[in-house]
């Protein structure tokens, strides 16, 4: 099973979610591993991949890494390196054969281009079994989340859940966003504030 973790934006807590979800699954005895598909801003360390490696207990570098902190398709142009999408898919599919679950973290949101016009949406449509959407619980999250879930549904990509990150909640909308999104969406909406909240996500897959 391949699960793509995407966000409604960059900096919404995808890596925090991925690492803590991996930790609780590993603790429960699940046959699971993680991966940062493409990481930019590695100057010099790929911090997201390092955190995933630490929780998995082995070195798992991103399939592609770049120094420039921009979208992967932009980074490949700026750094004059080509991302091979077929290689990414082959790598992920091969990894998934050795584990019951592969949790793969994207970069930014679902429409972020990986190479040329090929996006994480395209990747999810072709090889992911489901998508988790991580969103920062703040003003604006309703629109961003509805758009993300809608584009996934339109492309027949199962969204297993929306996960609201309360860690940086800083405005009054955080008190009502979950209720509003639960009313507007036909997928489960969860919240997390710290690592202790992940126990309640054990049964979602």
The DSSP letter of residue 127 is H
Nearest to 192 by CA among 3, 10, 19: 19
Q: Round to whole Å and give the CA distance between 33 and 91.
A: 13
3-state secondary structure of 58: coil
Using only C-alpha atoms, what is the Rg of the chain? 16
Query: Is 168 among the catalytic positions?
Result: no
Instruction: Dig out the tokens for 191 from the structure.
Output: 């919240």
Nearest to 3 by CA among 112, 84, 95, 72: 95
Q: Round to whole Å and give the CA distance between 132 and 13.
A: 12
3-state secondary structure of 39: strand
Q: Round to whole Å and give the CA distance between 36 and 91.
A: 12
Q: Which of 14, 30, 36, 168 is catalytic?
A: 36
- CA distances to 4, 105, 186 from 14, in Å: 10, 7, 22
Residues designated as active site: 36
């Amino acid at each position: 099973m391949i699960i793509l973790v995407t966000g409604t934006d960059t900096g919404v807590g995808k890596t925090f979610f991925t690492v803590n979800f991996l930790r609780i699954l590993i603790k429960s005895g699940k046959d699971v591993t993680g991966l940062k598909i493409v990481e930019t801003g590695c100057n010099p360390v790929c911090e997201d991949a390092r955190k995933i490696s630490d929780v998995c207990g082995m070195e798992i570098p991103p399939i592609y890494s770049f120094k420039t902190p921009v979208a992967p398709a932009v980074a490949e142009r700026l750094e004059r390196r080509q991302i091979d999408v077929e290689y990414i898919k082959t790598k992920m599919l091969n990894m998934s054969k050795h584990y019951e679950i592969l949790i793969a973290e994207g970069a930014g949101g679902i429409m972020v281009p990986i190479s040329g016009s090929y996006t994480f949406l395209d990747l999810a449509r072709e090889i992911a079994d489901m998508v988790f959407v991580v969103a920062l619980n703040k003003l604006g999250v309703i629109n961003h989340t509805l758009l993300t879930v809608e584009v996934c549904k339109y492309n027949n990509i199962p969204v297993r859940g929306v996960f609201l990150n309360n860690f940086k909640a800083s405005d009054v909308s955080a008190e009502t966003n979950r209720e509003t999104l639960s009313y507007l969406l036909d997928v489960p909406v969860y919240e997390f504030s710290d690592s202790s909240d992940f126990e309640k996500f054990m049964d979602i897959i």
